[in-house]
Structure 1
Amino acid sequence: MATHYETLHPADTYLEAFGVEPPAAPLDRHLRPRTSGACIVAATEPTSAAAPVDAAPQPPGRVLLPAQWGLVPHWVKSASDAQLRAPKLAHAKADLASTGTAFRDAWFNGQRCIVPMQAFFEDDWRNGKNKPVPTRIARVDGKPMGVAGLWARWQGADGEVIVSYCLLTVNANNHALLHRYGPPGAEKNMPVILNEGAYGAWLSARPEKAKEFMRQYAPQKLTANPVENKADKVPKGWLD
């Protein structure tokens, strides 16, 4: 299950691919849970007010929202508890999104988002050396991916606000490409990659209809490339 993904570069890709202005400050190229990222929400969402006041006007319908990767449910008691939970809530399995305690409020409140990314990374354990090879998964055509997600807004007693998101995943045990990755014997999962024409429908769908978007992405549209490691174990290009 992906715990590392690559953000969009160059910045103008956000407008071209998703119809939103890029972040006011560039995101880290490689994101991991509990770090600052961004997700796309419906422009009518009240949390869009969290965007910088000097940001460029957004096209109607969607807005890019600065947020932390790793969901923080509204009922979390403290910021320290939120930080502990975030890495464990970086993903929500599609079959549990409407029932899991951490995710169900966001699901039924229609707090859906799109997470823009260039690629995500999975570990390949097939070399028999008990040492996984990080592998970059991207679209064959090189275009950005819009991954289905959920977002939440937490506010502490002192007024501190944390806006956060998670990725939605589906089982990939029978996926022609993604079944190869992840620890041996473990359930295989993959992010829910949306088709470009479905972005608006995903953000506006009723909860009972939203489940129809929870499906695998065609394996022939994805490519997987091992990431070569340097001596210090930092894959080439991670710091570009």
Structure 2
Amino acid sequence: MCTNYNATPRDRLPPIFKAMMPNGLDWPNEIYNDYDAPIIRRGAGGNEVILASYAMVPKRHIPPGIKKFSTMNARAETIGQKPSFAKYWRAAQLCLIPMESFYEPCYETGSAVRWSIGMADQASFAVAGMWRVWHEPDGSTTHSFTQITVNADDHPLMKRFHKPDDEKRSLVIVPESDYSDWLECTDPERARAYLQLYPPALMKAAPAPAPPRKSTTKRVESNGTLF
């Protein structure tokens, strides 16, 4: 399941998603676990953009002694039962996660190759998600989110990703025509009607190997200076 994606840049958000956005919000291009990223939710005055941490339960909120677990993705089939998600699913705390593309591993060459997946017309798009609030020890309030996934064993494109024997999964890409209905939905059972696979003809994918990591090896000059 997706653990890394490219967020939609700030200057493309309001016209595409018709959402109010406060000044000063900023985020990196590539989003990973626990990174702050934009999400769109329904607010008192309409759609609004807020920053939220990627993963429903940020690592800092996993109690000491508990093995680290991932909540970046929520399975549609169990979203109403899992402790990390059930309360917020029942409360219909739904959101859209705007992005340009997301990454998945393809094993068709015999080893994992990172692929980038997005829209055929290169447009920004939005993935179905869910959000929650955290009350931090310092008195501040923060937010976090998860992406919703569905089975993709029969999807012509998305079944190409992940290990050969693993179940195939896909993020739920929400059609633009359903943005408002998804955000305004207050019935979790009705919300399930939106958790569908996206038409493969409207998508594209291509290899996108990750850039090599910068070496952290330090060299030592003959005088002992590190650089």
TM-score by length of 1: 0.81
Q: Is the 2:170–2:197 Cα contact (8 Å) retained in structure 1? A: yes
d(CA) in 2 for partners of 1:203, 1:188 = 27
Structure 1 residue 20 and structure 2 residue 34: aligned?
no
Answering whether residue 180 of structure 2 is matched by residue 195 of structure 1, we say no
Q: What residue is the counterpart of 1:227 in the other structure?
A: 208
Q: Report the AA paired with residue 172 of structure 2.
A: V
How far 1:22 moved relative to its partner? 5.2
* Aligned with 2:87 (options 105, 124, 135): 105
| 2:61 aligned with 1:79 | yes
In 2: Cα distance, 1:16 partner to 1:152 partner = 25
Match among 116, 139, 144 for residue 164 of structure 1? 144
Unmatched 5+ stretches in structure 1: 45-59, 235-240
Q: Which residue number in structure 1 is paired with residue 196 of structure 2?
A: 215
Letter in 2 for 1:34: D
Amino acid at match of 2:53: Q
* In structure 2, distance between residues paired with 1:95 and 1:33: 22
Distance 1:126 1:146 in 2: 27
Contact 2:21 2:48 survives alignment (8 Å)? no
Q: How far is 1:33 from its partner?
A: 1.2
Tell me which structure has the larger Cα radius of gyration. 2
CA distance in 2, matches of 1:70, 1:87: 10
Taking a change above 3 Å as real, the CA distance of residues 87 and 8 of structure 1, as seen in their structure-2 partners, is farther
The aligned length equals: 211
Match of 2:72 among 76, 90, 100: 90
Measured on the aligned residues, the alpha-carbon RMSD in Å equals 2.4
Letter in 1 for 2:133: R
Task: Tell me the CA shift for residue 88 of structure 1.
Answer: 0.2
Please list, as runs of the form range in 1=range in 2, the aligned pairs for 1:15-54 lying within 5 A after superposition. Answer: 15-21=14-20, 24-44=24-44
Find the residue that maps to 2:87 and give its secondary structure.
helix
Map of 1:118-157 to 2, 5 A cutoff? 118-128=100-110, 130=111, 132-156=112-136
Is the partner of 1:118 in helix, strand or coil?
strand
Deviations 1:148-168 (A, max 9, x none): 101011224553433100000
Offset of 1:61 from its aligned partner? Answer: 1.6
Alpha-carbon distance between aligned partners in 1 of 2:14 and 2:125, rounded to the nearest angstrom: 13
SS at match of 1:185: coil
Q: 1:86 to 1:116 in 2, by over 3 A?
A: farther
Task: Say whether the 8 Å CA contact 1:79–1:156 is kept in structure 2.
Answer: no
1:8 aligns with 8
Question: What secondary structure sits across from 1:167 in the alignment?
Answer: strand
Deviations 1:168-193 (A, max 9, x none): 01111110001000112001111110
The offset of 1:26, in angstroms, is 2.8
Report if the CA contact (8 A) 1:122-1:134 is conserved.
yes
Quick one: which amino acid aligns to residue 203 of structure 2? L
> Could you say what secondary structure the match of 1:166 adopts?
strand
Is the 8 Å Cα contact of residues 172 and 195 (structure 2) preserved in structure 1? yes
Instruction: Please list the CA deviations of residues 42-90 of structure 1 after superposition, one character each: whole Å capped at 9, or x if unmatched.
Output: 012xxxxxxxxxxxxxxx52000111000039xx9x73539x8886000
In the alignment, the residues of structure 1 paired with residue 210 and residue 106 of structure 2 have an alpha-carbon distance, to the nearest angstrom, of 13
More moved, 208-217 vs 24-33: 24-33
- Give the whole-Å Cα distance in 2 for the aligned partners of 1:220 and 1:175: 11
Q: Give the Å deviation of 1:36.
A: 0.9
Counterpart of 2:181 in 1: which secondary structure? helix
